[in-house]
Amino acid sequence: MPFSRLAATTTPTAHLGLGLAAVGRPGYINLGREEDLPAERTVDALRTRTHELLDAAYAQGVRYFDAARSYGRSEEFLADWLHARPDIDDIVVGSKWGYTYTAGWTTDAEKHEVKDHTLATYERQRAETDALLGDRLDLYQIHSVTPDSPALTDKDLHARLAEAAAQGLAIGFSTSGPAQADAIRAALAVTVDGEPLFRTVQSTYNALETSAGPALAEAHDAGLTVIVKEGMANGRLADPYAPDALKAVAEETSLGCDAVALALILREPWAGVVLSGAATTVQLASNLHAAVVDLDEGQLERLGALVEEPGAYWERRGQLPWH
């Protein structure tokens, strides 16, 4: 498993990764993004911003980088960065297939991405990813599996994914929505020739949405590496949007709300990698302070009271505008 490289890394930030969803395309649903990115969101401007973030993350010990076919040009930006730094060989690169980016580099598209988990989409997007990342790709995940996803039952797709795994590519899946736990447990049951197909799971988990926690613990116990996304709840746990209880705990620690929110996830014994979705190097540096946050029982109890009902959480997420 490529993630053994992370386990062997001793820097405090080794279990923090950088996700490129917020900087690989001009529009996304993170709160505050209007101020975070350049006013002119040209391809070159976001390429430069992405490379600045990758440089800063690597310099501070981050060794996992996460992209997706639907994150605009994230794979291209990451590939450019890797090509210019051929001596970097101690990182893990992950990407995802299953959504097609359809916004045409605009922020006001009617649809920004289209989901399709068929074998034909896998074949097309795998070729597109390979053309950019080639043998630098370590992990390829099905993007946003839900309990009714055909990717969980398509035997032909499973066979093709197993072929990729036999060639050294780790195969994983990500989840979204209020039934994440059901999707995780269904994916754990997928086998090819009696062997589990998936080696990683990437799910939303944060101070507001913890419903996937027990299933993620089961996945960890089954030998999967757990990657946590949206630890900041698309900006809802960052200043100035953070709940008062989180702001109070952050003030007590003398660190940012973001660092506290991510530290809460890092405490989970099943959390292998926790993603930062920073859009600026200042945000990234603040996020990475999560590695040194120490929370006491009283603080944990107060933060635990922030949990929302999953349906309500995902309904609100679905209403966030693309900025």
Q: What are the pLDDT digits (tens) for 118-134?
A: 999 999 999 999 999 99
**For 197-217, what is each residue's pLDDT tens digit?**
999 999 999 999 999 999 999
For the chain, give the percent of residues with pLDDT over 70: 98
Q: How confident is the model at residue 1 (pLDDT cuts 50, 70, 90)?
A: low
Distance of CA 85 to the CA centre of its chain: 23
Which pLDDT band holds residue 14 (cuts at 50, 70, 90)? confident
Sign of CA dihedral 167, 181, 272, 254: positive
| Cα distance between residue 301 and residue 56, in whole Å | 33
Residue 270 lies in a domain: yes
Of 13 and 221, the one with more pLDDT? 221
> What residues make up the domain containing 13?
4-318
Dihedral through CA 287, CA 62, CA 100, CA 225, nearest 10?
Answer: -100
Residue 184 lies in a domain: yes
On whether residue 204 sits in a domain, the answer given is yes
Q: Which of 31-35, 77-81, 203-207 has the lowest mean pLDDT?
A: 31-35
Q: At residue 179, what is the residue type?
A: A
Report if residue 323 sits inside a domain: no
Segment holding 115, helix H or strand E: strand 113-115
pLDDT, residue 13, reads 82
Amino acid at 95: S
CA nearest neighbour of 183 among 203, 159, 169? 203
Q: What is the CATH number of the domain that holds 250?
A: 3.20.20.100
Q: Mean pLDDT score of the chain, rounded to an integer?
A: 96
Query: Would the CA dihedral through 169, 16, 76, 122 be positive or negative?
Result: positive
pTM exceeds 0.95 for this model: yes
Q: Which residue has the higher pLDDT, 323 or 320?
A: 320
pLDDT at 146 over 90: yes
Partners of 100 in the beta sheet?
114
**CA 241 to CA 259: how far, in whole Å?**
14
Note whether residue 293 is domain-resident.
yes
Task: Please state, in angstroms and rounded to a whole number, the distance separating the CA atoms of residues 26 and 46.
Answer: 8
pLDDT tier at 10, thresholds 50, 70, 90: low
The pLDDT score that the predictor gives to residue 113 is 96
**Cβ neighbours for 182, distance < 8 A, ≥ 6 positions apart:** 147, 215
- Closest-CA residue to 237 (of 34, 56, 30): 30
**Is 193 within a domain?**
yes
Mean pLDDT computed over 33-52: 94
**Model confidence pLDDT, tens digit, residues 223-252:** 999 999 999 999 999 999 999 999 999 999
Q: What is the tens place of the pLDDT at every residue in 251-280? A: 999 999 999 999 999 999 999 999 999 999
Task: Count up the domains in the chain and report the number.
Answer: 1
